[in-house]
Structure formats: C-alpha cells, structure tokens
Amino acid sequence: MVRPVGGLVLAALLLTACGGGGEKSAGPVATSTTVPVTAPAPSTTVPATTTTTAPLVVDRRTGVGVRQETFVDATRSTSTGESTRTFPVTIWYPAAGDPDGPALPDAPPDRSVGAYPLVVFVHGYAVTPAFYEELLRRWAAAGYVVAAAAYPGGDDDYAMQFTDTTFLITELLQLSSSNPLAGTVDPQRIAVTGHSNGEAIAYGLGFLQCCRDQRVKSVIALAGNLGNINNPVQRDNGVPVLHIMGEADELQPYGASIQWDRDNLTPPRWSVTLVGGSHAPPYRSPSSAHFDGVVDVTTAFLDGSLKGHPEKLAAIDDIVGANSNLFRVER
C-alpha cells in the first residue's frame, strides 16, 4: 500500500506508531500484519539517573561541525532483502565558528570542555535526518554531539528500530581512535529523542520492558500519542521524559495523547502543549511560530537532565510562561 508522506505506519506487535515526519494530512489508517521484534541486548551499564556526574558547562554556544559516518550491523538483515543493516549517520557536534551559521563539514571538534553529552535522534516516517537539520544543529551549538541515522528497510522493519538505535549508541561510543570524533562523547550522558514514528522508538529505549537501554538517561518524544504503544511500560525508573504535542496535530488526536500522559507518565516528566501546533513544522522549520520555543524548551530539558543543572528543568515553566499564547505546560 502506498502511503503519503506523513501517513501512518502501524506495527501491531509492539506499538501503533504515530504519523511520520511529513507535513501532509494522513489518509485512512490501515493496520499492518504483526511483525517480529528483535529486542535490544540487555545493557550492563549503570541505571539511569537525572544527574550522573559533575555538572557541565551550560549557556555556552559554539559553532557546529557536521560529519557523515556509515555503520553496518552484520548480524541482522532487512525485510527488503539486504543481508546486513546499513545506517548512514549524520553527526553534528560543537566546533569553532558562528553558533548561528551553517554546520561546517568535517570541522575539527571543539575539545575545550572535554566530552559532550550524546543526543541520538530518530526520524519520522518517509523522511531523513536532513528534514530536521535546523533543530539538530541548534542542539549541537548548545553543547551536544547529535547523531541521526537514516534507518534501513521499509515499513515492515519499523519495529526493528528499537534494536537499531541501541546498535547505533554502541557504535557511537566505540568510534576508533583514528576517527576525528573519538572521545567527544560522554558515555554517561545519553539522550534518545524522536519525532512522530521516532518518538515511539525514543520512548521505548527509555521505558518499554521490551527495549529499555540502561545507557539512556533522558528521553524527548515529539508529536504523537504515546498511548499507541502496546507494550508494558517500566514506570518510576527515574528517567526524565519530555513529551511535546501539537494541539492541532493533524495526524494524532491531541486529547487522547495528553490524557495518556496524565494517566501514565510519572515524575520526572514534562508534558508541553503547542497551542495550535501542527505535526511537523514546529520541530523542523524556523519559520514556524513554535520553532524557537521548541528549541529553548528541549535545550533546557537536555541541560537539566544530562548536564546536571536542575535549575534548567525549573526554567521550562518560565520559558513556557513567557510564550503562553504558543505553549502550555500540562500537569
């Protein structure tokens, strides 16, 4: 079945995923057949906590470099016939230069403050990481190594993205000493973030019994109903989660989404509504009225949950309050 960009992808066994990254309205929803899921290998690293080590520098913006890598998982195949799973990965990272300028290809990383927290981003349906480049570049300018892969396979491989993302984290932490980015990632400070279909993957690595990766210390879920996930949730595990939803999301009913948050998300959690916000523009287009606020809220959340600055988490209310015509914190 051909789906429009932004159409719904439904994997019945693990989750009913929200709509993809595109900006068109979804057509009729069709349920796929059940797909097998390969659960991530259990992690042996320490459990997640809000603050793992000493606080890191905040409110320091840098230029941004960008680098392309390719990672190959030779142990798993794709539903489309490839014997391995290949991931083109774009990595944005702090570098010398203008924080508001374009990312500079293969620029030397700024190592003046040591290793940086890692933010892994999972894209939505029928798009690539480039769709979200401006958001990801701004996170990097705020002091993060930000990695986003184009995931292999078609719709039938969607449920495999949980294991794919765990694989990507491992590869990013094991860059060879000859790689220019070796040593730039702090293995104790890792967030997984995602938009639309990708938000379910991000939430899964933080909270689902099938797919929890103990290395993940923080989760950002953008644009969708987490209640669509049909898998037991690990509650009260201490992982901070930020869920941002558009009040006018054309692909997911807002009311059901926010009610699920109220009924199921436990502290430390933040649910933020985009007043009148739609499915994709607030997360990828600087021309959206919501975009700058999304950057500010998500950066404050990352600073608080990964860099050891709880005052930044408290500041989310202030950021939202200063833009109350566009944002609302849900309790």
Domain assignment present for 35 = yes
Lowest mean pLDDT among 54-58, 151-155, 181-185: 151-155
b or e along 306-328 (b: 16 or more beta carbons within 10 Å of the residue's beta carbon)? bbbbeebbebbeebbeebeebbb
Interval 292-330: pLDDT, tens: 999 999 999 999 999 999 999 999 999 999 999 999 999
3 state SS of 53: coil
3-state SS, 160-195, equals HHHHHHHHHHHHHHCCCCCCCCCCCEEEEEEEEEEE
Domain assignment present for 254 = yes
Domain assignment present for 49 = yes
When pLDDT is cut at 50, 70 and 90, the band that residue 222 belongs to is very high
Domain assignment present for 2 = no
Interval 62-76: pLDDT, tens: 999 999 999 999 999
When pLDDT is cut at 50, 70 and 90, the band that residue 49 belongs to is very low
Start-to-end CA span in the chain (Å): 40
Domain assignment present for 281 = yes
The Cα–Cα gap between 28 and 280 comes to 19
Q: 99 is in which domain, residue-wise?
A: 10-330
Q: Which residue has the tokens 């290949």?
A: 86
* Residue 131, token pair as written in the block: 């769709």
Phi–psi pair at 137, nearest 5 degrees: -65, -40
Dihedral over alpha carbons 133, 182, 175, 96 (to 10 degrees): 10
Q: Which residue has the tokens 């644009």?
A: 223
Residue 256 and residue 227 in contact, taking contact as beta carbons nearer than 8 Å = yes
- Which CATH number goes with the domain that contains 317? 3.40.50.1820
User: Span 192-212, mean pLDDT?
Assistant: 96
Lowest mean pLDDT among 22-31, 92-101, 183-192, 276-285: 22-31
The secondary structure of residue 50, as a DSSP letter, is: S
The Cα–Cα gap between 47 and 34 comes to 31
Give rounded-to-5 percent helix, strand, coil for the chain.
Answer: 25, 25, 50
3 state SS of 234: coil
Q: Which residues pair with 233 in a beta bridge?
A: 208
The answer to whether the pTM exceeds 0.85 is yes
* Residue 38, token pair as written in the block: 């390969």
H helix runs in 43-152, sequence order: 133-141
**pLDDT at residue 106 greater than cutoff 90:** yes
- Which residues, in sequence order, are CB contacts of 134 under 8 Å at separation 6+? 284, 285, 286, 291
Burial of 36 per CB tally in 10 Å (0-12, 13-18, 19+) = exposed
Total domains present in the chain: 1
Domain assignment present for 3 = no
Domain assignment present for 125 = yes
DSSP per-residue letters across 148-161: EEPPPS-GGGGGGH
